[in-house]
Structure 1
Amino acid sequence: MSEAAYNKGFPVSWEQMHRDARALAWRLLEKGPYKGIVAITRGGLVPAAIIARELDIRLIDTVCVRSYSDKSRGDIEWLKDVEGDGEGMLIIDDLVDTGKTAKAVREKLPKAHFATVYAKPLGREVVDSFVTEVSQDTWIYFPWDMELSVNAPISERAR
């Protein structure tokens, strides 16, 4: 999907990310226990930290995969992998979009439970658990991608 295909924006605040990651932890609690977490960098790092705290998981590793450049997708590039088949592990990411990255990680760790905070229709079947579904044409603006700024009143912008 090209940048032009994203018709909607969905800004996520730090507070909302925290609430949604905790909601995911509640869902995961009954499916555990887990030996550890594998966070998909970079987006999975923040929700993984929250979920690790909530589920009292101390073993945290990462897979480092690159598939995005700004809002355009590219080929999967593995920067860091993990050992094993994922047995007893929990894979955490912020979002499953088309499922391309998720499928690649799932192939490497087929026995892990895969959870994301947000899911889009094309990727949701790849993950085992998620909290919120958003439409495929929505770009999610995560709190680590935004900064506060002053906005002009609506009346001034409409001129």
Structure 2
Amino acid sequence: DGGVDSLEPRIKERLDFELFTIRTMGFAGYFLITQDFINKGREIGVMVGPGRGSAAGSAVAYCIGITNIDPIKYDLLFERFLNPDRKSMPDIDTDFDDEGRQRVIDYVVDKYGRNQVAQIVTYGTMAAKTSIRDAARVMDLPLADADRLAKLV
């Protein structure tokens, strides 16, 4: 176990590029805070998802335990997550079990301060016709009936 020097050149290059990008774009603190509350969640017995969305493409996130998905093994692109040519905030989606989620939020508020913490949520929407077809499927209505209803919208 020779540390960084024993890494395959392609892996070292990937990590060097990611670390350089994270540092120069000013997101090192974001990674460390995210790592902190994910580690705390695991430490207190909260179920934490393996990783979701474009953050699974970060080898740095994998190495520091933010995700449990090896992006190099699955040939995932870091640039989909954080691209030095685009000035945008990285988005690390993190899933916690329903009971443990509030415990992690309480930890973050206690550690970083209520005025430094905000909860962000994304709501998905469905088109009216798609909603009608999905509801009809759940209600075991024939597809022809669902299509006829959807066309009324």
Q: Do both share a fold (TM > 0.5)?
A: no
Larger helix proportion of the pair? 2
- TM-score, with structure 2 as normaliser: 0.26
Alignment TM-score, normalising by the size of structure 1: 0.25
Q: Which has the higher contact order (CA 8 A, sep 6+)?
A: 1
More strand, by proportion: 1
